[in-house]
């Protein structure tokens, strides 16, 4: 069942934290996503940063029907089309271009572009995107940038991503126009490689708790 963009935004507003998973291994991806969901985080972004990412996405979508599985690191319209074919619930990009924004607006896939400042945000709004990823959040000003952008753009909401930690997230989430935070710290490559699902579960549970 595909979720509407409003449903996805509502879920992110409730969870307030979006784990980001980078792995090329289908079995490990399924185990990791299941572990995240079992520990209070049933939405995930799987990046396209690995060669096998489309297969990973397709298989996780099939294996984890109760999880909202999105695709990250979408850089081109061709990737957007391929993501849609996998059955992923949504797409995210680290930035925005006129070509990709236009394709995303026409694609029907719930989509969140990345912005680093006001000009990116104006481009996003021209294409109807008012929920965006602020990336890399820690380097472009984080919560201070979100607050500043809230002046000229009062209806925009941000997913702060890049350099967020379980320690920093409660403060970031207090800013009213921050919808959620995203990050890879819940799924470290070393723990995935070690199949340490207990440790990953603990990181997810701690993030879910810090989000409350």
Catalytic residues: 45, 133
Please identify which residue in 23, 35, 47, 68 interacts with ligand 3PG, judged by CB under 6 A: 47
50 is a site residue for ligand 3PG (CB under 6 A): no
DSSP strands (E only) in the chain: 17-21, 43-47, 68-72, 90-92, 111-112, 114-115, 131-134, 157-161, 178-183
Q: Is 162 in the site for ligand 3PG (CB under 6 A)?
A: yes
Contact flag: residue 28 with ligand 3PG (CB under 6 A): no
203 contact partners, CB below 8 Å, separation of at least 6? 166, 185, 186, 187, 188, 191
Residue from the set 40, 95, 141, 163 that interacts with ligand 3PG by CB under 6 A: 163
Does residue 161 belong to the site contacting ligand 3PG (CB under 6 A)?
yes
Residue 71 lies near ligand 3PG (rule: CB under 6 A): no
User: With CB under 6 A, what is the number of residues at the site for ligand 3PG?
Assistant: 12
Residue 183 touching ligand 3PG (CB under 6 A): yes
CB 77 within 8 A of CB 92: no
Do the bridges between strand 114-115 and strand 17-21 make them parallel or antiparallel, or are there none, so unpaired? unpaired
Binding of ligand 3PG by 184 (CB under 6 A): yes
Tokens 């199949």 found at:
195
76 touching ligand 3PG, by CB under 6 A = no
Q: How many CA atoms lie within 13 A of 55 on its CB side?
A: 9
CB-CB contact of 83 with 102 (8 Å): no
Binding to ligand 3PG, residues 98-137 (CB under 6 A): 135
Residues that bind ligand 3PG (CB under 6 A): 20, 47, 72, 135, 161-164, 182-185
């Amino acid at each position: 069942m595909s979720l509407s963009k409003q449903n996805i935004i509502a879920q992110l507003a409730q969870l307030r934290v979006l784990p980001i998973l980078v792995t090329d291994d289908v079995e490990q991806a399924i185990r990791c996503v299941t572990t995240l969901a079992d520990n209070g985080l049933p939405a995930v972004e799987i990046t396209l940063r690995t060669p096998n990412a489309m297969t990973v996405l397709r298989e996780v979508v099939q294996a984890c029907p109760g999880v909202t599985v999105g695709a990250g690191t979408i850089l081109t319209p061709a990737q957007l089309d391929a993501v849609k074919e996998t059955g992923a619930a949504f797409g995210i990009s680290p930035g925005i271009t006129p070509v990709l924004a236009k394709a995303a607006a026409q694609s029907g896939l719930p989509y969140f572009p990345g912005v680093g400042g006001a000009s990116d945000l104006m481009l996003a709004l021209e294409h109807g995107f008012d929920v965006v990823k602020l990336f890399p959040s820690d380097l472009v000003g984080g919560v201070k940038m979100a607050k500043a952008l809230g002046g000229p753009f009062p209806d925009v909401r941000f997913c702060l991503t890049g350099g967020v930690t379980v320690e920093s997230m409660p403060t970031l989430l207090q800013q009213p126009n921050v919808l959620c935070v995203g990050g890879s710290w819940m799924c470290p490559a070393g723990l995935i490689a070690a199949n340490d699902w207990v440790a990953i579960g603990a990181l997810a549970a701690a993030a879910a708790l810090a989000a409350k």
